[in-house]
């Protein structure tokens, strides 16, 4: 019996629809039961694991799933965090995908004077990405404090919790609506297809090797 290839995708969020659409366009069909964590492909020996996006890098790095589709922002943040605590943090990056595009930026309240990054010295920056933020600050010789939040980052300055934010931006409307001005892009991201670093069975690897040119074809057709 062929072993089933497992792919982790975001259950519900900004990457879900396009992740499924990509697989579909590659001929890998699923019928999704919203309540279920696992979906079995009806066309291939492939199982989908539908989880929070934050869990996807770890599942791949721990070899729990074979492939994952996740934003590079989350991937790099989790990698840095796992490296810091000594957990396995290896993976293979198979493809950069053409969806999920966004940037991680530092923004300050409109009325805050800001000329250069070093104006943030000694300030508090609210973010969901403490590792990416601190790496950037360190590289630029700035010492600011992380205020770690898992959500509602954009309201932190108004609530008096922080002097600045470091948040994902796509159109900029959210920053604008919260009286914040984007000052510095610290990371640019799109969705990535990643593979666990373990050697997979010949069956699984063959399936991946078949999938990749199809993904390239689908992406090329969209250009
Ligand atoms: O439940 P789960 O943990 O899986 O989902 P989530 O809420 O953590 O993530 P989700 O679905 O919001 O985003 C998943 C991924 O989509 C992110 O990790 C990014 O890689 C990518 N992505 C692309 C974005 C955006 N664009 C984006 N604009 N993720 C979030 N945003 C948010 C941003 O945080 C801010 O609140 O949208 C708001 C800003 O949007 P604009 O258009 O107003 O600038
Ligand atoms: Zn998340």
* 52: its two tokens: 């929070």
Q: Residues within 5 Å of ion ligand 2 by Cβ?
A: 53-54
- The answer to whether residues 56 and 77 touch, using CB atoms and an 8 Å cutoff, is no
Q: Which atom of ligand 1 is nearest to the CA of 11?
A: 4
Q: Which atom of ligand 1 is nearest to the CA of 73?
A: 20
Residue 153 is given by DSSP the state G
| The CATH classification of domain 102-188, taken from the options 1.20.1070.10, 3.40.190.10, 3.30.450.40, 3.40.50.300 | 3.40.190.10
Q: How far is the CA of 92 from the centre of ligand 2 (A)?
A: 21
Cα separation, 43 vs 94, in Å, equals 22
Q: Which residues contact 159 (CB under 8 A, 6 or more apart)?
A: none
Residue-by-residue pLDDT tens, the chain, 223 positions: 779 999 999 999 999 999 999 999 999 999 999 999 999 999 999 999 999 999 999 999 999 999 999 999 999 999 999 999 999 999 999 999 999 999 999 999 999 999 999 999 999 999 999 999 999 999 999 999 999 999 999 999 999 999 999 999 999 999 999 999 999 999 999 999 999 999 999 999 999 999 999 999 999 998 8
Q: How far is the CA of 55 from the centre of ligand 2 (A)?
A: 8
Task: Using a cut of 0.95, tell me whether the model's pTM lies above it.
Answer: yes
Q: Which residues contact 49 (CB under 8 A, 6 or more apart)?
A: 6, 7, 8, 9, 37, 38, 59, 65
Task: Decide whether any atom of ligand 1 lies within 6 Å of the 103 Cβ.
Answer: no
CA-nearest residue, atom 39 of ligand 1 = 169
Q: Which atom of ligand 1 is nearest to the CA of 13?
A: 11
State the ligand closest to the CA atom of 19.
1
Task: Decide whether any atom of ligand 1 lies within 6 Å of the 102 Cβ.
Answer: yes
ipTM of the shown complex: 0.98
Per-domain boundaries in the chain:
5-100+190-222, 102-188
Mutate to test the pocket of ligand 1, among 53, 70, 177 (most ligand atoms within 8 A of CB): 53
Q: Is 179 left (phi over 0), alpha (psi -120 to 50) or beta?
A: left
Structurally, what CATH architecture does the domain formed by 5-100+190-222 represent?
A: 3-Layer(aba) Sandwich (3.40)
CA angle 52, 207, 97 (to 5 degrees): 50
State the ligand closest to the CA atom of 97.
1
The reply to whether domains 5-100+190-222 and 102-188 share a CATH topology is: yes
Cα separation, 203 vs 135, in Å, equals 39
Task: Decide whether any atom of ligand 1 lies within 6 Å of the 71 Cβ.
Answer: yes
């Amino acid at each position: 019996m062929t072993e089933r290839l497992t792919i982790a995708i975001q259950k519900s969020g900004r990457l879900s629809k396009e992740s499924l659409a990509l697989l579909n366009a590659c001929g890998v069909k699923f019928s999704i039961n919203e309540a279920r964590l696992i979906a079995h492909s009806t066309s291939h020996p492939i199982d989908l694991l539908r989880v929070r996006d934050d869990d996807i890098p770890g599942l791949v790095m721990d070899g729990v799933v074979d492939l994952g589709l996740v934003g590079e922002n989350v991937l790099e943040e989790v990698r840095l965090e796992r490296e810091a605590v000594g957990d396995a943090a290896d993976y293979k990056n198979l493809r950069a995908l053409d969806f999920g595009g966004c940037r991680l930026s530092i923004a300050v309240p409109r009325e805050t004077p800001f000329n250069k990054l070093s104006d943030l010295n000694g300030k508090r920056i609210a973010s969901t990405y403490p590792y990416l933020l601190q790496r950037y600050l360190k590289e630029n010789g700035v010492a600011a404090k992380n205020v770690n939040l898992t959500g509602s980052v954009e309201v932190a300055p108004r609530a008096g919790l922080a002097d600045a934010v470091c948040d994902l931006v796509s159109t900029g409307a959210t920053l604008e609506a919260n009286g914040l001005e984007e000052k510095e892009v610290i990371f640019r991201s799109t969705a990535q297809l990643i593979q666990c670093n373990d050697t997979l069975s010949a069956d699984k690897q063959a399936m991946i090797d078949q999938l990749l040119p199809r993904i390239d074809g689908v992406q090329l057709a969209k250009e």
